[in-house]
Amino acid sequence: MATKEVNLGKHGSFKIAEGSLHRMLHIPEGEKIGQERMKAASHSSNPTLRRKAVSGLGLSAMHRGG
């Protein structure tokens, strides 16, 4: 499992485990996770899955620029 550091500039940085959300949702790593699946996972009863899904939604918004 590879970790990647995400640098937010003056807002700090954090580390993510690449592919962990894919493994938790049982989706192959080469396949994209759709927004509907991410939103559904953000309401999960599992706190770790919920936290990773919310982070994924935030990071995808950063790539789109909004």
Give the residue numbers spanning the domain of 26.
3-64
pLDDT for residue 50: 95
For the cut 70, the answer to whether the pLDDT of residue 64 exceeds it is no
pLDDT for residue 37: 94
Question: Which residues lie below 8 Å from residue 13, measured CB to CB, with a gap of 6+?
Answer: 5, 6, 7
For the cut 70, the answer to whether the pLDDT of residue 65 exceeds it is no
Counted domains in the chain: 1
d(CA 64, CA 50): 21
CB 57 within 8 A of CB 39: yes
pLDDT for residue 31: 94
Q: What is the pLDDT of residues 31-53, one digit of tens each?
A: 999 999 999 999 999 999 999 99
pLDDT for residue 56: 86
